[in-house]
Chains A and B, each alone.
With several copies, the nearest count.
Chain A
Amino acid sequence: MGKTVFEKSSSGRRAFTLPPNDCPLEGLKQLITRKGPVGLPEIGEQDLVRHYIELAGKNYHIDKGMYPLGSCTMKYNPLINEELAGLGGFTGLHPDQDVGDVQGALELMHGLERALSEICGMGAFTLQPAAGAHGEFTGMLIARDYFLGRGEKRKVIVVPDSAHGTNPASVAICGFTPKTIQSNELGLIDPAILEKEVDGETAVLMLTLPNTLGLFEREIAEVVRIVHDAGALVYMDGANMNALLGIVRPGDIGIDIMHVNLHKTFSTPHGGGGPGSGPVGVNAELADFLPIPRVIKEDTGYILSCDSDKTVGRIHSYFGNFNVLVKAYAYIQTLGARGLKQVAMDSILNANYLMNRLEGTYSLKYPGPCMHEFVLSARNLKKNGVRTSDVAKRLLDYGLHAPTVYFPLIVEEALMIEPVETESRETLDAFAEVMERIAQEAKESPELLTEAPRHTPVRRLDEAAASRNPDLQWRPEEK
């Protein structure tokens, strides 16, 4: 139980063998310079399968239950999309094949770019970024090259304090300087404060819409006006686009650059940490700055074009996470315009339903209605010696997953809850009931929380020890 694959190894076992080699190794031995074995485990197919089945049994996943992780939009991943992305006509393509051999792939990418442009109201999209943060980086590069092209030395990116951590990090690795602005008492950007912070140094305002409190920026029109008036651009982190599908098109309200997370909004699975995909959309004026190659439709078919002297260049070896794109494309095809709007409407309904039920039990700093998610605080449990992390761990004991915790930073003891539209009312009710029971337990027997979890494959792990002395690879001596 709990052994690593190395400990299950026995020299001489095989889970896979190649067909015999029909070419001689003769005269090539001198090219072999590795001394000694790599140290790979040797294990039979049955024991290897059992190894991974054992590990699989220790994972929570969307097919087991709800993931109320705010900002993560963990929705159901349709099975048909997995099947389609697994078709040999997709998985077997080499990226250096002649365009004539990959017309289907290019058609799909072109179709997805167009669909995303329509959904977001943007002029053009690139599918190259491999994740949301990669999209942010790409967006920052575009802003950089845009201002460089205009001979403007704008170095500051304004970021609200409620923003996701990747926002300032993306800004920084691009050579820009992030400047944080405070949210107002409604959890929103205050146009008055913004007006003061934005100036000729400002390259971009990087906002999240709906923001990470689950709130729509009510003054968004004014916010955009202020930024544009200062000659700066508005970047939208579209990780929360789920709430806006068919309801608001960012391009229509003046967003210049944005990314979406296909692995959230468009239902591609998260794979325990990836792969994702973070396409970036820009307004028509900025289209030439998008990374190359771009997929262009010509009369004779699709081509990959590198013709652009304004492009920021490449940001991925090839065309991004193609396999993920297939799933997102299938998803959009299946839902169509009406289905996508229903996604947004039901995600908003589910969030408000759950918020409404839980806001008495936990405290709600910023009043609703919310969009697709909301942020509660467990600070009312502090008096019982209970923290948000304890609530989270206790949820695990009930066989549920915890919400996002301690984020956004501006809410004390935050519990960020996004139910998503694929959860049924019964599931929301069951979750709410457990949340209520836990609040009750916090008062009556707080040790149930502080000592939680007890019913999981392991109990709370010593993270401090791990970070003092990380054990990052298995070594025989250590056992």
Chain B
Amino acid sequence: MSYVQNTDGDREAMLKAIGVSRIEDLLKPVERSLRVEGDLDLGEPMSEPETAAALEAISKKNCPASSLASFLGGGVYDRYIPSVVRYVLSRSEFYTSYTPYQAEVSQGTLQAIYEYQSLICRLTGMEVTNASMYDGATALAEAVLMAHGIKRGGAVLIPRALSPRIKAVLRSYTKGRGIEITEVPFDERGEMNRAAIDDLLAEGTAAVVVAQPNYLGVIENAAEIAALAHDRKALVIAYVDPVSLALLSPPGDYEADIVVGEGQSLGNPMNFGGPLLGFMATRKAFMRQMPGRLISGSLDLDGKRGYVMTLQTREQHIRREKATSNICTNEGLCALSAAAYLSALGEEGFRDVAVQSLSKSHALYRLLKEVSGCELPFGENFFQEFVLRLGSPLGNFLKKAKAAGILAGIQLTDDFPELGPGAILVAVTEKRSRADLERYRDIVKGGA
């Protein structure tokens, strides 16, 4: 089937109005030799039930983490999503609307995103934030470009304990500008090595990136790192997990200059890793250097409150080659999810998500500590994720866990050979029950 509405009768009447006899006549500007001959090799049109059956069959070839006890994290988390979030997202007023170019008929989207901005500012303790970026990785890359722009050059220090995927994106984004990126190793507690930072920081360093918690789950002493960086006039970019901010100091408290992160876990399904939600916040002073769309409150002709896109001169519509970035379509609907999620949970509920993730991840850590042969290289200074080392190749263990309905974690050894063989990253969210944790422990016990 097709979603075209013209009937043959319509077409005839329209062609007559135009004054040609066939649609082909309108294709004159396209030289015949350039045109496709015959049909594309794509198969026959399908009816709705056929498409549905085909896609359902494909979906059943997957074994989704959400249907198992998943301990996978590393940036994307399996969390409870309140029904109200799904409901808001299912309203076509939100999902079938375009970018709010005509503010007067887009107050729904505009106010929702304004509220999203307000919520992100509160979470991060920052003054301004944009309306979303593609994901945490590109948000960090844009933050580095932004810092590099503000400082007019300079190298950037990043933690080694940053997601290898984020590091890869950062490399792709910065190589065109020739920005030097240096990794700061982690110390024996899994924290960013402060001595190494001290060594690597030069007068011209543009920025130091601190990940809080870092990719290995470890809570950094972000304030100390920020102070070190600021001492040498480098900007501080904090890459933060938004849920952790219910319990950890907001980056505003340690005077971060730019804050970025991945917001998927604020009400968005995992969706095989996309769409995600990159967020970015900064100080008011850097507002005009920040990429991305901004929504501002304003007043209408009658003095009534309303919302508009603002500072569009920073964007590519107007300044084109001088734009702060090329981002245009962003992840607006995911930002709406995040706003609905945070509003549904509220102060108490959101804190509870963080508290449960914290206490459940520590409960598993403690259970595993009792198992012999089970190494936990870093201490208890972590939020929701920790490194577990089993000492031998993981294939068998992961298979056994899977058979018991458990996705045990992300393998780390390829990306972090220094962690030794059999290292995995174990994430525990509020969705896991004590019984899941005990089952995990039992499998480790059986296999170790």
- Residue in A402, A424, A425, A462 whose CB lies within 8 Å of B299: A462
Main secondary structure of the interface of A (DSSP, over half): loop
- Residue in A55, A165, A275, A322 whose CB lies within 8 Å of B323: A165
CA distance A375 to B178 in the complex (A): 40
A12-B8, A317-B169, A337-B40 known; A19-B3 Cβ under 8 A: no
Q: How many residues of A contact B (CB 8 A)?
A: 204
A 95-117 binary contact with B (CB < 8 Å = 1; else 0):
11110011111011000000100
A42-B346, A272-B99 known; A340-B323 Cβ under 8 A: no
> B255 at interface (Cβ–Cβ under 8 A)?
no
- Asked if B122 and A38 make an inter-chain contact with CB atoms under 8 angstroms apart, the answer reads yes
- Asked if A32 and B407 make an inter-chain contact with CB atoms under 8 angstroms apart, the answer reads no
Q: How far is the CB of A372 from chain B (nearest CB, A)?
A: 10
- Residue in B10, B175, B293, B311 whose CB lies within 8 Å of A10: B10
With both beta carbons as reference points, the residue of chain B lying nearest to A178 in the complex is identified as B321
With both beta carbons as reference points, the residue of chain A lying nearest to B306 in the complex is identified as A458
- Asked if B121 and A473 make an inter-chain contact with CB atoms under 8 angstroms apart, the answer reads yes
Q: Which of B123, B166, B302, B347 has the most CB of A within 10 A?
A: B347
- Asked if B3 and A91 make an inter-chain contact with CB atoms under 8 angstroms apart, the answer reads no
- Residue in B15, B272, B347 whose CB lies within 8 Å of A322: B272
Chain A residues contacting B349 (CB-CB under 8 Å) are 14-18
- Asked if A48 and B340 make an inter-chain contact with CB atoms under 8 angstroms apart, the answer reads yes
> B112 at interface (Cβ–Cβ under 8 A)?
yes
Q: How far is the CB of A32 from chain B (nearest CB, A)?
A: 5
Chain A residues contacting B248 (CB-CB under 8 Å) are 31-34
> A443 at interface (Cβ–Cβ under 8 A)?
no
> B188 at interface (Cβ–Cβ under 8 A)?
no
- Asked if B437 and A16 make an inter-chain contact with CB atoms under 8 angstroms apart, the answer reads no
Chain B residues contacting A172 (CB-CB under 8 Å) are 321-323, 326
- Asked if B7 and A11 make an inter-chain contact with CB atoms under 8 angstroms apart, the answer reads yes
Q: How far is the CB of B149 from chain A (nearest CB, A)?
A: 10
B 1-38 binary contact with A (CB < 8 Å = 1; else 0):
11111111111011101111001011111110111100
Q: How far is the CB of B336 from chain A (nearest CB, A)?
A: 7
Q: Which of B129, B271, B294, B317 has the most CB of A within 10 A?
A: B271
> B392 at interface (Cβ–Cβ under 8 A)?
no
B 45-67 binary contact with A (CB < 8 Å = 1; else 0):
11111111011101111111111
Chain B residues contacting A393 (CB-CB under 8 Å) are 102, 104
> B406 at interface (Cβ–Cβ under 8 A)?
no
**For residues 1 through 59 of chain A, which have their beta carbon under 8 Å from a beta carbon of chain B?**
2, 4-6, 9-25, 27-28, 31-35, 37-49, 51-53, 55-59
Chain A residues contacting B199 (CB-CB under 8 Å) are none
**For residues 56 through 99 of chain A, which have their beta carbon under 8 Å from a beta carbon of chain B?**
56-64, 67, 69, 72, 74-80, 82-84, 87-98
Q: Which of B80-88, B153-161, B369-377, B440-448 contacts A (4 or more CB under 8 A)?
A: B80-88
> A125 at interface (Cβ–Cβ under 8 A)?
no
- Residue in B36, B46, B76 whose CB lies within 8 Å of A96: B76
**For residues 172 through 200 of chain B, which have their beta carbon under 8 Å from a beta carbon of chain A?**
172-173, 175-178
Q: How far is the CB of A217 from chain B (nearest CB, A)?
A: 8
> B358 at interface (Cβ–Cβ under 8 A)?
yes
Chain A residues contacting B11 (CB-CB under 8 Å) are 346, 349
With both beta carbons as reference points, the residue of chain A lying nearest to B327 in the complex is identified as A133
**For residues 88 through 128 of chain B, which have their beta carbon under 8 Å from a beta carbon of chain A?**
88, 90-109, 111-115, 117-119, 121-123, 127-128
With both beta carbons as reference points, the residue of chain B lying nearest to A131 in the complex is identified as B329
B 307-332 binary contact with A (CB < 8 Å = 1; else 0):
11011110111101111011111111
Chain B residues contacting A77 (CB-CB under 8 Å) are 92, 95-96
Q: Which of B43, B46, B245 has the most CB of A within 10 A?
A: B46
> A231 at interface (Cβ–Cβ under 8 A)?
no
Chain B residues contacting A102 (CB-CB under 8 Å) are 62-63, 272
- Asked if A356 and B18 make an inter-chain contact with CB atoms under 8 angstroms apart, the answer reads yes
Q: Which of A5, A78, A136, A272 has the most CB of B within 10 A?
A: A272
Q: How far is the CB of B329 from chain A (nearest CB, A)?
A: 4
> A342 at interface (Cβ–Cβ under 8 A)?
yes
> B279 at interface (Cβ–Cβ under 8 A)?
no
- Residue in A64, A94, A343, A451 whose CB lies within 8 Å of B78: A94
Chain A residues contacting B247 (CB-CB under 8 Å) are 31-34
CA distance A56 to B82 in the complex (A): 19
- Residue in B20, B49, B115 whose CB lies within 8 Å of A4: B115
- Asked if A274 and B132 make an inter-chain contact with CB atoms under 8 angstroms apart, the answer reads yes
Q: How far is the CB of B404 from chain A (nearest CB, A)?
A: 15
- Asked if B169 and A314 make an inter-chain contact with CB atoms under 8 angstroms apart, the answer reads yes
> B263 at interface (Cβ–Cβ under 8 A)?
no
Chain B residues contacting A59 (CB-CB under 8 Å) are 93-94, 97, 105-109
Q: How far is the CB of A478 from chain B (nearest CB, A)?
A: 8
> B418 at interface (Cβ–Cβ under 8 A)?
no
A60-B102, A273-B100, A320-B274 known; A467-B311 Cβ under 8 A: yes
A271-B333, A273-B131, A459-B302 known; A34-B93 Cβ under 8 A: no
Chain A residues contacting B78 (CB-CB under 8 Å) are 92, 94
Chain A residues contacting B65 (CB-CB under 8 Å) are 92-94, 97, 101
With both beta carbons as reference points, the residue of chain B lying nearest to A97 in the complex is identified as B65
> A200 at interface (Cβ–Cβ under 8 A)?
no
- Asked if B95 and A271 make an inter-chain contact with CB atoms under 8 angstroms apart, the answer reads yes
- Residue in B107, B250, B328, B334 whose CB lies within 8 Å of A166: B328
A169-B321, A275-B334 known; A466-B98 Cβ under 8 A: no
Q: Which of A191-199, A243-251, A280-288 contacts B (4 or more CB under 8 A)?
A: A243-251
- Asked if A96 and B5 make an inter-chain contact with CB atoms under 8 angstroms apart, the answer reads no
A130-B274, A144-B176, A276-B329 known; A353-B92 Cβ under 8 A: no
Q: Which of B135-143, B202-210, B226-234 contacts A (4 or more CB under 8 A)?
A: B135-143
- Asked if B304 and A458 make an inter-chain contact with CB atoms under 8 angstroms apart, the answer reads yes
With both beta carbons as reference points, the residue of chain B lying nearest to A12 in the complex is identified as B7
CA distance A314 to B135 in the complex (A): 13
With both beta carbons as reference points, the residue of chain A lying nearest to B43 in the complex is identified as A336
A 336-371 binary contact with B (CB < 8 Å = 1; else 0):
111111110110111011001100000000001101
CA distance A339 to B8 in the complex (A): 15
CA distance A4 to B111 in the complex (A): 8
- Asked if B294 and A461 make an inter-chain contact with CB atoms under 8 angstroms apart, the answer reads no
B 278-319 binary contact with A (CB < 8 Å = 1; else 0):
000000000100000111111111101111101111011110
- Asked if A401 and B245 make an inter-chain contact with CB atoms under 8 angstroms apart, the answer reads no
- Asked if A22 and B434 make an inter-chain contact with CB atoms under 8 angstroms apart, the answer reads yes
Chain A residues contacting B272 (CB-CB under 8 Å) are 90, 93-95, 102, 105, 318-319, 322-323
> A221 at interface (Cβ–Cβ under 8 A)?
yes
- Asked if A25 and B355 make an inter-chain contact with CB atoms under 8 angstroms apart, the answer reads yes
Chain B residues contacting A38 (CB-CB under 8 Å) are 122-123, 245-246, 250, 347, 350-351
A40-B346, A131-B327, A457-B104 known; A18-B9 Cβ under 8 A: no
- Asked if B42 and A119 make an inter-chain contact with CB atoms under 8 angstroms apart, the answer reads yes
Task: Provide a sorted-by-A list of 24 A–B residue pairs whose CB atoms are within 8 angstroms.
Answer: A4-B114, A11-B347, A31-B381, A61-B94, A92-B67, A94-B273, A96-B72, A119-B40, A130-B135, A169-B326, A247-B35, A252-B36, A261-B329, A263-B329, A275-B332, A275-B333, A315-B169, A315-B172, A346-B11, A356-B19, A425-B5, A472-B128, A473-B114, A473-B122
Q: A17-B349, A118-B42, A270-B98 are in contact. List 13 more A-B contacts (CB 8 A).
A: A23-B363, A23-B437, A56-B91, A87-B55, A88-B66, A97-B63, A105-B272, A165-B318, A169-B320, A272-B98, A272-B336, A336-B42, A458-B304
